[in-house]
Amino acid sequence: MAHSLSEACTPLKSEYDSCFNAWFEGYLEPAVSTTPEQRTKFSNQKAAEYEEKCGKIWEKYRSCVQKAVKDKQLDALLDQARQENPLKEPPNDSSTNKASSS
């Protein structure tokens, strides 16, 4: 797995990534045809599972990276990027179905 931006955080990142990847494999494969109720149930289950299995290591890893981001003075760059272009739209079909190539 790739290194963290701070060497001090790399062991925490490796542990977190392993936990996340195991969870993510299951998250990517919900039952094929589901009702909205089943979807909600699946989402809630996966959210609870993530919190239970990866919640603690995520908190440790995140606080380590947050400190490193501040130390390297990257927080201003990030804040600026967030204001300019926050990701809030759900995936949309409008621009992605045309099979163009150049």
Partner 1 sequence: MKFFSQSFLYDDPWSIVSFAFFLRYPNPYASHVASCDVISRSLSPQGTLITTRLILKHGALPRWAPKGIMKNAESWIIEESEVDPFGRVVRCSTRNLDHVKIMRVEETITLRQTEDHKTIQHTEARFVSGFGWGLTKRIESHGVAKFKAHVHRSREGISVILNLIRQSRMQPM
Q: What residues make contact with partner 1 under the rule CB under 8 A? A: 1-5, 9, 13, 16, 20-21, 24-25, 27-30, 34, 39-40, 42-43, 46-47, 50, 58, 61-62, 65-66, 69, 74, 77-78, 80-81, 85, 87, 90-91, 95-97, 99-102
Torsion of CA 39, 20, 50, 11, to 10 degrees: -170
**CA atoms of 42 and 16, how far apart (whole Å):** 22
Nearer to partner 1, 71 or 77 (CB): 77
Distance in Å, CB of 56 to partner 1, minimum: 14
- Report d(CA 39, CA 46) in Å as an integer: 10
In angstroms, give the least distance from the CB of 68 to partner 1: 8
Nearest distance, CB of residue 15 and partner 1, angstroms:
13
Amino acid found at 13? K
Helix-, strand-, coil-residue percentages of the chain, each rounded to 5? 65, 0, 35
> Smallest gap, in angstroms, from Cβ of residue 29 to partner 1?
5
